[in-house]
Structure 1
Amino acid sequence: MGGVTSSVAAKLAFFPPSPPSYEVVTEPESGVVRLSRYPHRENVEVLRLPTRRGTEIVALYVRNPMAAFTVLYSHGNAADLGQMYELFLELSIHLRVNLLGYDYSGYGQSSGKPTEQNTYADIETAYKCLVENYGAKEEEIILYGQSVGSGPTVDLAARLPHFRAIMLHSPILSGLRVMYPVKRTYWFDIYKNIDKISLVNCPVLVIHGTSDEVVDFSHGKKLWELCNEKYEPLWLKGGKHCDLELFPEYLKHIKKFISTVEKSPSQRSTWRKSAEQFEPPRKSTDCFEPSRKSIDRREKSRQSTEKSRSKDQRTTNVENLEKLKISFDQMEKSRRSLDCFDKSRKNIDQLDRGRKSVDRLDRIWAG
């Protein structure tokens, strides 16, 4: 039964556009690499990045000369870079950030097949690219995970403690919980965000639509309740799974969040108190996490992390990368492979019904 359930969860987790919405084109005269659907822009670079699992992913880097931070964006399960391109440009401009988006293995023109383990290697590769190629520091990077992209996003943030912040857009508690209202975590489940979110020590913004027909609103609420350093959430009334960018509050709230995380930890105490008013009375979470440690211990861990964060900011990029490599190697040894994801995908059309054409993005900031 467990193996069957795991296989079903895996099949529903990934739904890359078929055929891909773009091709990677190299201009014969200039050698410039671009996406086939769009003309070359001076501030946009298209990259091919090899991962530690033998695949090659396509990434898109958008540069903003006014940027203080870089957003590492992990998109949802029914999109690729061709569909996200215009949104990435708009976010970079309006949020004043650099932005790196990437296609998971098996998505767009990235090679290989989409599996949970491959997506972990994919986001690690994208992060290392930011550090090695663009000189970004861990504390200058904000992670953004949408829908299934919340899986690799939370996983990376749980292992590397000094990211500036993370944003979770229509996130999942776990893959199995999207389909069944299970009360405990099973070994064969995928993207166990509910068990990992307590290990994230940076500020967390959760955005979710109250009418989400793919990932129930309760997923976002529960993850937010379990965050260590929670920020005022954005619950969009009537919002569905793939239309949240169309709400005026979406961009305003993210701008406010980024402005807040620019401040030091001590200066952020005010908004921590403000966020508490959004949290309903806590009920027992034993049914979700039998092994969860006490909140007091979590507080001590966070205080310890706050002290070490200022000291570790002096760490060089080389040392950061070495630490990253060791962490990744240890995590890879302890993980079970779930490469059965690529079997037949019957009954997955229902997951994509909330997906709307990205062509509507020109309405996001109209007026």
Structure 2
Amino acid sequence: MGVVTSSVAAKFAFFPPDPPSYGVKVDEKTGNLRMTGVEEKENVDVVRLKTKRETEIVALYVKNPSAKMTMLYSHGNAADIGQMLDLFSELSIHLRLNLMGYDYSGYGQSTGKPTEQNTYADIEAAYECLKKTYGIKEEDIILYGQSVGSGPTLDLASRLPRLRAVVLHSPILSGLRVMYPVKRTYWFDIYKNIDKIPLVQCPVLVIHGTDDDVVDCSHGKQLWELSKEKYDPLWVKGGNHCDLEFYPEYIKHLKKFVSSVGKSGHLRNGDQTGSTSNSSD
């Protein structure tokens, strides 16, 4: 029963765009990698990264000259980084951050298959690239996990005590809990975020739509409750699972959060709160 349920949960979790939205080729003039099939952006590096599970993933690094912090973005289950490129660029500009986004194994031009354990290795490879290639310190990194991306995000965040902050966007309590209202964690479940969130030492912002018909808003609310260092959450009134970026309060609230954690490794007084925010902000 457990193996069957785990297989169902895994099938629920991963829907890589087919065909991928982009290609990758070597620029003959520079020798650097570039994306094809999408509008090219300035200040974007394309890199291939080897993971410890022997897959090779593709990542984008969006540079902002005025950035003091860097966001590592784990996207949702039905997108690849070609589709996310415009959002990555906008977030980098509006939040004044460098931003790395990566494709999970089996997504886009990344090799292998998407599995829970592969995504953990994928985010580790992206994180190590930020540190070793770009010289970014752990304490200057904000992890951002959207939907299924909350899984690798919280797995890594639970093991990094000096992270600057974490953003959870329409997050899941666990894979099984999306499908069934189970009251305890089973060994065959995937992305056991409910058990990892209390281990996160840095400020946590949760963003969730009140009308999410894929991952109920109760998932975000429970993860927020279990966070050690809570930041005023954003419950987007009327927001669904894939449209939160289109609400003006989304970027407004993110800016406020980045500004707050940017002052120091912790929230300023008054930012850790039990109140909630919604689209009437």
| Counterpart code for 1:85 | L
Partner in structure 1 of residue 181 of structure 2: 181
Scaled by the length of structure 1, what TM-score is found? 0.74
CA distance in 2: counterparts of 1:278 and 1:188, whole angstroms: 33
SS in structure 2 of the partner of residue 271 of structure 1: coil
| Aligned-partner Cα distance in 1 for 2:84–2:121 | 21
Measured against aligned partners, the alpha-carbon deviations of 1:42-71 in whole angstroms (never above 9, x if no partner) come to: 411100000110000000000000001000
Per-residue deviation at 1:267? 6.2
Cα distance in 2, alignment partners of residues 57 and 147 from structure 1: 20
* Offset of residue 203 of structure 1: 0.1
**Aligned residue number for residue 137 of structure 1:** 137
Match of 2:212 in 1: 212
| 1:150 equivalent in alignment to 2:150 | yes
Q: Could you say which structure has the higher helix fraction?
A: 1
Match of 2:275 in 1: 277
Query: Is 1:116 matched with 2:129?
Result: no
1:238 aligned residue: 238
Q: Offset at 1:270?
A: 1.9
Tell me, what secondary structure is at the counterpart of 2:268? helix
Tell me the secondary structure at the aligned position of residue 153 of structure 1. Answer: helix
Displacement, 1:276?
A: 1.8
Q: Per-residue deviation at 1:40?
A: 4.3
Hey, what does 2:19 align to over in structure 1? 19
1:172-221 CA distance string (max 9 Å, x none): 00000000000000000000000010000100000000011110111000
Q: SS state of the match for residue 45, structure 1?
A: strand
Say if 1:58 and 1:86 are closer, same or farther in 2 by CA, change over 3 A.
same
1:39 offset after TM fit, Å? 4.9
- CA distance 1:20–1:224, shift in 2 (3 Å): same
Counterpart CA distance in 2 for 1:27 and 1:43 is 15
Aligned to 1:268, the other structure's residue is in SS state coil
8 Å contact kept, 2:92–2:98 = yes
Offset at residue 265 of structure 1 (A): 5.7
The code of the aligned residue for 1:194 comes to I
Deviation at 1:25, TM superposition (A): 2.1
Aligned counterparts of 2:109 and 2:264: Cα–Cα separation in 1: 40
C-alpha distance in 2, partners of 1:38/1:15? Answer: 20
Letter in 1 for 2:268: R
- Alignment partner, residue 94 of structure 2: 94
Q: How many Å separate the matches in 2 of 1:249 and 1:121?
A: 33
Aligned partners of 2:28 and 2:200: how far apart in 1?
45
- Contact 2:231-2:271 within 8 A present in 1 as well: yes
Report SS of the residue matched to 2:122: helix
Q: What's 1:257 paired with?
A: 257
Aligned twin of 1:347: none
Structure label with greater radius of gyration: 1
Cα RMSD (Å): 1.4
Which residue matches 1:45? 45
Q: Which residue of 2 aligns with 1:292?
A: none
Matched, 1:57 2:54: no
Aligned positions of 1:268-307 closer than 5 A? 268-272=268-272, 275-278=273-276
What SS class does the counterpart of residue 151 from structure 1 fall into?
Answer: helix
In the alignment, which residue of structure 2 is the partner of 1:223? 223
Which aligned pairs between 1:342-361 and structure 2 lie closer than 5 A?
Answer: none
CA distance in 2, matches of 1:59, 1:265: 26
User: Is the contact made by 2:72 and 2:100 (CA closer than 8 Å) also made in structure 1?
Assistant: yes
Length-normalised TM-score, structure 2: 0.96
Deviation at 1:102, TM superposition (A): 0.1
**Aligned residue pairs, count:** 277
Q: After TM superposition, give the deviation of residue 34 of structure 1 in Å.
A: 1.4
Aligned to 2:143, the other structure's residue is in SS state: strand
C-alpha displacement at 1:153, in angstroms? 0.2
Structure 1 alignment gaps of length 5 or more: 280-367
The structure, 1 or 2, with the larger RCO (C-alpha pairs under 8 Å, 6+ apart) is: 1
Q: Which residue of 2 aligns with 1:325?
A: none
Letter aligned with residue 108 of structure 1: G
> What's the counterpart of residue 35 of structure 2?
35
Identity %: 71
Instruction: Classify 1:108/1:267 alpha carbon distance in 2 versus 1 (closer, same or farther; 3 Å).
Output: closer
Deviation at 1:31, TM superposition (A): 2.4
The answer to whether the 8 Å contact 2:165/2:202 transfers is: yes
User: CA–CA distance in 2 between the matches of 1:258 and 1:28?
Assistant: 38
Residue in structure 2 matched with residue 163 of structure 1 by the alignment: 163
Q: CA deviation at 1:277?
A: 3.2
Contact residue 234 and residue 276 of structure 2 kept, 8 A: no
